[in-house]
Structure 1
Amino acid sequence: MHLSLMTDSLGKLTFEEMLDTASMLGVETLEIPTGGYSNAPHMDIDRLLESKEARESYMRAIESRGLKLEVLNCNGNQLSPDAQGEKDALLVEKTFRLAELLGVEKIAMMSGLPGGGPEAKYSNWVICCWPPVMLEMLDYQWNEVGIPYWEKTARLAESHGIKKIALEVHPTQIVYNVPTLLRLRNAIGPIIGANLDPSHLFFMGMDPIEAAKALGAEQAIHHVHAKDTHIEKDVKDLNGCHETAAYLSNPAFERSWTYCALGYGHDVFWWKRYLMTLLQFGYDGPLSLEIEDVVMPSVIATAKSADLLKEAMPHDYTRDFPQHLLEIKGLGFDI
């Protein structure tokens, strides 16, 4: 495992400032958004697509800090029935093209959410089986829109050399829990996997450790976001966690949940158990810090989160050990 950074966490910094800060924090690889729900503060995708010189300069800036570009992120809703859906679908295609030009083989994105039928104006997240029309909506969303889109999109990704599409297990998407992720993966193939972000599972009432076990057993974890959530128990007990109070317009203590720096929702012991579970079930890839804390400045929240994650990593401490001390035999696993 290694420390990675979803660069919107430092979205108020310039590209160069973000790179310098990431390097100082001990980050090794980067996940950079290209647009969609992000305003892409650190990437002009059209300029990079148009200019080889711009791409070379961009990559030199990253590599000069000892960093590597590992993931492009194009989170949006490409299945939305409105004009935004068309715009986001075009962004996906641009991101795939840029990934090939930059040598990136993994894309992080959302699964998307269609409307409830052919004439729908807005996306519709179905989370209950009743009344019966809800099941009709689900059938349309999956069989008429979702699966056909992903069959085509997976082929397009493969044609651009992309090996993994990591879908964020996220509310208001067709993929929002373990069964829906596995349903899409089984329909499309192993290029589809999870971008497992515990922060969303927390406020949907799931257990990220159990999710890691279930998805890891299927080798279906392609990427991991390190992001925490604080649950305001008194509010949650009254309102549940389907929170509609505007995120930035309401104080955190008035909402049932709020994103926070790592350790401010779940302590380092929880994170140690989570990372050990990921490792035991086969995930040994990047841990991409995604910080959306609304209380402390983003640089401070990111730095505190990086410190906690480095402490929690199961084998990060071994890097400076003499190699002969690490060649321990007979323990049933490879250190």
Structure 2
Amino acid sequence: MKTGLVTDILSYMPFEEMLDTCRELGIETLELGCGNWSSAPHLDLDGLLESADKRKQLLETIQSRGLEISALNCSGNQLEPTAQGEKHAGVVEKTFKLAGLLGVKTVVMMSGCPSAGPSDTVPNWITHPILPPHFDTLDWQWNEVAFPSWEKAVKVAKNSGVEKIAIENLGFNLVHNPETLLKLRNEVGEMVGMNLDPSHLFWMGGDPIAAARTLGNAIYHVHAKDVRIERGINDVNGLIDVKPMESFADRSWNYVALGYGHSVEYWKEFFTVVKMMGYEGPVVLEMEDLTMDPLTGVKKSMDVLKETLPRDFKQTNSGHYTALAHG
């Protein structure tokens, strides 16, 4: 279980400075944003698709630091029935193609969320279908939009050389928990699995440890990301909170650095259970704690990750961390 980083966190750093920082912190793998919701700060999607020399240079620059690419990320809403949705779908296909050309076997993305019906253009995440029309909406979203779209996406990914599509369990998407992931997987096949991001289950009221046991070998990628439920606010207003993330002092929950929402003991159990389920892939930090600067948040999160992952680390004379054994 190698340590990794969603490099968008250090988007303000030039590419090679970001790589050197990762090496110094003991990060071993990179999850690179390719576009859509990501600004793709460290990767030129079109340029790399067009040039074998640029692809070779990218890989050599990464490998020269002892790093590797664990996944490409093209998270967005490709099911949105607008020009924006078409653009996102195009980035998804390009990301599949680039992953194949780079030899990257895993692509991280979202399932997407359609509109409420064929005449609507606004994505609509149904969370409380108490009236019959909402059941009709869910049926349309899954059967008329999501399943056909994902059947095509799986074919494109396979033809590109991608082996795993890791769908993140983010709210506001059709796939947002194990039940919905398995619903899609049962329809389109085992090319799709979950990018298990515990933070989202926390704010939706779930338990990532129980989710990991349910998912088993459908865990294709893991994000190390924490949430703190804010006492005194959640108790009054509950977990449904539409205030912007920047209003962290008034929200009922917040994304926080690893260990700032749940204890070290919790993370030890979570990572151990994930490994018990057969997962041996990377554990990738995604840090969105707005109460500290990004690099500080990454450093503090890495301290927790090194303490809680079920493997050993050693510190070299140069101050770099390396693994005693990659398990």
TM-score of the two chains, using structure 2 as the length reference: 0.95
Matched, 1:183 2:183: yes
Residue deviations 1:36-65, cap 9 Å, x none? 111111111111111112111111110110
Distance in 2 between residues matched to 1:183 and 1:231, nearest whole Å:
29
Aligned partner of 2:242 in structure 1 is 244
SS of the equivalent of 2:86 reads helix
Tell me the CA shift for residue 17 of structure 1.
1.1
> Percent same amino acid at aligned positions?
49
Aligned partner of 2:288 in structure 1 is 292
RMSD: 1.2
Aligned partner of 2:324 in structure 1 is 320
Aligned AA for 1:320?
Answer: L
SS of the equivalent of 2:232 reads helix
Tell me the CA shift for residue 316 of structure 1.
2.8
Among 246, 249, 253, which residue is 2:249 paired with?
A: 253
Aligned partner of 2:10 in structure 1 is 10
Q: Does structure 2 retain, via aligned residues, the 8 Å contact 1:9–1:289?
A: no
Matched, 1:277 2:277: no
Aligned partner of 2:20 in structure 1 is 20
The 5 A counterparts of 1:1-335 are 1-216=1-216, 219-248=217-246, 250=247, 252-317=248-313, 319-320=323-324
- My pick for the range that moved more, 56-65 or 194-203, is 56-65
SS of the equivalent of 1:32 reads strand
Tell me the CA shift for residue 8 of structure 1.
0.9
SS of the equivalent of 2:167 reads strand
Tell me the CA shift for residue 317 of structure 1.
4.5
How many pairs does the alignment contain? 318
Residue deviations 1:248-301, cap 9 Å, x none? 2x1x22101111110111111110010111011111210000011101110111
Instruction: Give unmatched runs, 5+ long, in structure 1.
Output: 322-334
Tell me the CA shift for residue 14 of structure 1.
1.2
TM-score of the two chains, using structure 1 as the length reference: 0.93
Tell me the CA shift for residue 143 of structure 1.
0.1
Q: Does structure 2 retain, via aligned residues, the 8 Å contact 1:2–1:316?
A: no
Tell me the CA shift for residue 154 of structure 1.
0.3
Residue deviations 1:117-150, cap 9 Å, x none? 1011200000122111110100000000000001
Tell me the CA shift for residue 315 of structure 1.
2.0
SS of the equivalent of 1:233 reads coil
Distance in 2 between residues matched to 1:277 and 1:32, nearest whole Å:
26
Aligned partner of 1:332 in structure 2 is none
Aligned AA for 1:93?
Answer: E
Distance in 2 between residues matched to 1:240 and 1:170, nearest whole Å:
18
Tell me the CA shift for residue 238 of structure 1.
1.7
